[in-house]
Homo-oligomer: A and B are copies of this chain.
Amino acid sequence: MVLAYDGAIQRLIDSFASLPGIGPKGAQRIAFYLLQAPDVESQRLVDAISEVKAKVKFCEICGNVCESSPCAICSDPRRDHTTICVVEEPKDVMSIENTREYRGLYQVLGGAINPMANIGPSDLNIAQLLNRLKDGQVKEVIVALNPNIEGEATTTYLSRLLTPLDIKVTRLASGLPVGGDLEYADEITLSRALEGRREV
């Protein structure tokens, strides 16, 4: 067992080490950084955490994060209200917005089906999505989940659920990442790229 610091410092190190992506050494470094930083800097972090917890909520329509519900995207009349892009997490909305190619709406599922972690369809915002499709305004649902086992399973589940509703269900293309190298592409990605080949 290694020795621990005096109470307050150790509690700060432990708090940081419990965050995703921060190990014990990184947590120690941050703790000492904050200790020596001006009070205004540590206060800014404290305020930012408290503010997010107090102000940020989830949009009642799409499940994205927002400060007033419905969110800015759902309540924007200039967006295309006939298309919904289904993503796993709020940060995925930002990834797609950053392409500046998409002008429709979103539905944040809050994860993907994962039997190993006990996450089933009822734990996701799927009922919310189905509810939005009822009035027949939506013509296309773009399923944009992560290209891993959980995302694939959820995509299959959604496509079975939505196809009978006479709505076009599409998914993101699989293939070689732009700037990538054929040599380093894994077999599955490469076979998907072959399968999805297009005329030039």
CA A35 to CA B18, docked complex, whole Å: 14
Closest Cβ–Cβ distance, residue A173 to chain B (whole Å): 22
For residue A66, which residues in chain B have a CB less than 8 angstroms away from its CB?
Answer: 6
Answer whether A30 and B19 are a contact pair too, CB < 8 Å, given A2-B98, A11-B48, A67-B7: yes
Q: Is A20 an interface residue (CB 8 A)?
A: yes
Interface on chain A toward B: helix, strand, loop, or mixed SS? helix
CA A49 to CA B48, docked complex, whole Å: 12
Copies of this chain, count: 2
Q: Which of B26, B46, B55, B72 contacts A46 (CB 8 A)?
A: B46
Which of A87-95, A124-132, A137-145, A159-167 is near enough to bind chain B? A87-95
Q: Is A65 an interface residue (CB 8 A)?
A: yes
Given contacts A9-B65, A15-B49, 17 further A-B contacts (CB under 8 A): A6-B56, A7-B67, A8-B67, A11-B52, A12-B52, A15-B45, A21-B29, A22-B30, A28-B91, A29-B91, A32-B65, A32-B89, A35-B56, A35-B65, A42-B50, A43-B53, A46-B46
